[in-house]
Amino acid sequence: MSITLAQVAGPAYTRIYSFGAARGENAVPNEDLIGPIDSSDEWIRQRTGIITRARANKDTDAIDLATEAAAEAIEKSGVPADQVDLVIVATISNPKQTPSVSAIVADRVGANPAAAYDINAACAGYAYAIAQADALIKAGAARYALVIGTEKLSDVVDPTDRSISFLLGDGAGAALIGPSDTPGIAPAVWGSDGSKADAVGMNGTLTQFRDGEVPWPTLRQEGQTVFRWAVWEMAKVAREALDKAGVEPTDIAAFIPHQANMRIIDEFAKQLKLPESTVIARDIETTGNTSAASIPLASHRLMAEHPELSGGLALQIGFGAGLVFAAQVVVLP
């Protein structure tokens, strides 16, 4: 006699219920960073659009930031913490190789025994995690998912490096995702180009550091390579995400790209031919580049400043180290 395994299926659609955020406790202006890189406030503003960046205290880590953002997202969603059965954390700055940030945060916010795992897709991590949460809920593997991007990048900064050190900040953003009666998250366009992995990433390994072969590994980038790739290739990905969602640029109420560089953001908007009515996230100006945390942090601020965007469509796109990327259209909570 044959046995048929039982199967499960979830809801047809999902949506974002709420956002939460936490930023590093300290606002660090350009003037505090220009000495070691022999630069100026004007140079940094012109090249990046950054005036200050958020950086955390020494005793605050990526787990602390994630917990604060997650707690806010849960509270605002109206979903009891013990009903959250999936926690996905996107980060490149877990202070330990293991255990995962996600398992610790799930416990801290009262979501035990939720399934929990971390992903490393750098600045695309949050968008990757949104795509996974959407798919897992639709598959019936979870009902409510907490998606968090969290980074303490000030731990991996070389203050003398002119390529990236002045860009980076610390923070965490979270989104609570659950079932919906109507589509709230469109299919993702995601991928990678590992052939250019050396364009941005760590400049050494922990084993090399252990063996005294390199100093403490820090983030570095080939600025022009990354800029050209982001501006030209990622605009194509953003347009493909619009096509997959079945919408036009004129339908987009908000554009929330990874907060890498203000010039990249401006060029994106120009290439996508977004209408003047589209609100563009520019959180980088006072938060800095927070890698996996940048899209949810920018989303949180955008909703606080523009509550009229609730129910509107947002195009979000993440891209970064390893030349990993992901984009999707979502309905704002």
The answer to whether 107 touches 67, Cβ cutoff 8 Å, is no
For 218, phi and psi rounded to 5 degrees? -135, 165
Structure token pair of residue 321? 């180290």
Residue 270: its H or E element: helix 262-272
Residues 99 and 104: their CA atoms lie apart, in Å, by 8
Question: Which residues are registered as beta bridge partners of 280?
Answer: 255
Residues 236 and 142: their CA atoms lie apart, in Å, by 32
Q: Coil, helix or strand for 27?
A: strand
120 belongs to the catalytic site: no
Q: Which of 94, 123, 203, 300 is catalytic?
A: 123
Angle ∠(277,189,223) on CA atoms, nearest 5: 80
Residue with tokens 């080939």: 222
Residues 291 and 314: their CA atoms lie apart, in Å, by 19
Residue with tokens 């949460």: 133
DSSP-derived secondary structure for 64-117? HHHHHHHHHHHHHHT--GGG--EEEEE-S--SSSSS-HHHHHHHHTT-TT-EEE
For 255, phi and psi rounded to 5 degrees? -115, 120
Q: Which of 94, 258, 261, 300 is catalytic?
A: 258
The answer to whether 137 touches 147, Cβ cutoff 8 Å, is no
Angle ∠(295,292,219) on CA atoms, nearest 5: 130
123 belongs to the catalytic site: yes
94 belongs to the catalytic site: no
The answer to whether 325 touches 317, Cβ cutoff 8 Å, is yes
Residue with tokens 């109206």: 78
Catalytic residues: 123, 258, 289
